[in-house]
A and B are shown apart, each in its own frame.
Chain A
């Protein structure tokens, strides 16, 4: 009987299994890597992990929600700055965490409301998200003067806020987290975000979001308020990008470059190279390309952006579906039928 095919229950079980697997991998990495790496590498690995969270946020919004957002960097920057400002003003930096997630979520919700309820078409959505990011970039860049401060936090213009305190042990402001601990936290956040994405996509909400990507009109004709679902996934993506900004603020420091065009572009490249419509692909894409950019940066007389552009060109031509679908397809052909 056809009804006996891959059942919903087993699909949910599989999503839960993959989510658990992601968490387990994060756990192992968090436990093992700090013992292996030296301090500089640990900080670098934390940056890569933060970028992977950022890539995951766009993978969700673009790959599954079908919303091409050129401004994911805006929420990343807002998360970083919200953390920095709150951490400088609050005695316990733990309380800055919800603020760093809430501020970009609200910004995403407000921007999303205008775009989705205003019936802005896809192309203009790209233009609007890009413009908002550039406005923020220029604004934060021009806050160098003494008058630009929020409480105890000077915004610092193009210098950013180098005095941002790191997270402390919750409830113990006197004990800031060591870089190793920040790394562990970042890896666990990545694992949690991955698990969250998996579970969201298996829920009714997530399936309607994917259905809207497939055919917006049909979803509306079945009685789903398309605008609300898009707003929902866009806001979740904004929150996740904010978390990435928080992690970044804890291993580097916040500066206007977080809002830059270069970042916005890179996030899109990570997702494209990793595979649109996948989660693991963009995570790996972000890490690989970050590592590549860092390595090329050490070579004399080569512009990293040139190499990054070249990589994108080759990737789009050679593996148009992206890393994850290509590798998965290759494995499926190699492995015996039932294992795939």
Chain B
């Protein structure tokens, strides 16, 4: 399979703080990748570099071999990268349908955009929210509306930053099924903390720690890795032996 997105020695510094430190990572076409790491590991900063919200201090970002480092967010989005941000980023004053239609309106005419938007809302099981203002929805519903907005234009790569945060168990299970389903056509990168969720969807997992890639392996191997337990639970090195595999 060919490489869709790659970073080469990507580094992002804020003054003396190195939030992303020399990260080289590649995502292949139709891959489903999980990214985990404790708070402050640099995941969100890494994504902000990928989507053009931050200009990286060093390194390159390649999209299908083309250097897209330093492009504007809309230019990167137009190449086919969709991102669901950690805190839902939505058009609060618009209805769910209006927002999803706008997501489609760059590629499609009004009637077609509307038809597709309704289909996406239907697929996510939130068709009944179509005409509700997004600002009035519950957190879990907002997550789903944002997911619909991101997925609707069918980007080649979908980045989901904590898609199940604030969702009910039922909504989480639904989202896992949806992500596996979407993965048939799109490459997906998911950031999550919920290990159950990761077991349910993941094939390959990358662990971030202190701005660097700590481990990159299959889900089973990563979840059994004592180093991963250490960074999540903060165990001292001498206690490693006690960690159940």
Contacts and interface: CB of A to CB of B under 8 A. Distances in A.
Interface residues of A, number: 24
Interface string A203-238: 010011011011101111111111000000000000
What does DSSP make chain A's interface, helix, strand, loop or mixed?
Answer: helix
Contacts of A214: 90-94
B48 to A, nearest CB: 10
B127 A218 contact: no
Interface residues of B, number: 35
A207 B128 contact: no
A182 to B, nearest CB: 39
A151 interface: no
Interface stretch (B75-83, B170-178, B234-242): B75-83
Interface stretch (A2-10, A122-130, A187-195, A278-286): A2-10
B102 A222 contact: yes
Interface in B85-118: 85, 89-94, 97-99, 101-103, 105-106, 110-111, 114, 118
B42 interface: no
Interface of B: 51, 53, 72-74, 77-78, 82-83, 85, 89-94, 97-99, 101-103, 105-106, 110-111, 114, 118, 121, 127-128, 130-131, 149, 153
Contacts of B91: 211, 214-215, 218-219
19 contacts: A2-B121, A2-B128, A2-B130, A3-B130, A5-B130, A8-B111, A204-B105, A217-B85, A220-B73, A221-B51, A221-B82, A221-B83, A222-B106, A222-B149, A222-B153, A223-B153, A225-B72, A225-B74, A226-B74
Given A211-B91, A221-B82, A224-B106, 8 more contacts: A5-B97, A204-B105, A204-B110, A214-B92, A221-B83, A221-B85, A222-B153, A223-B77
Contacts of A225: 72, 74
Nearest to B92: A214
B153 to A, nearest CB: 7
A221 B99 CA distance: 13
The 6 closest A-B pairs by CB, nearest first: A214-B91, A223-B77, A220-B73, A223-B78, A5-B131, A218-B89
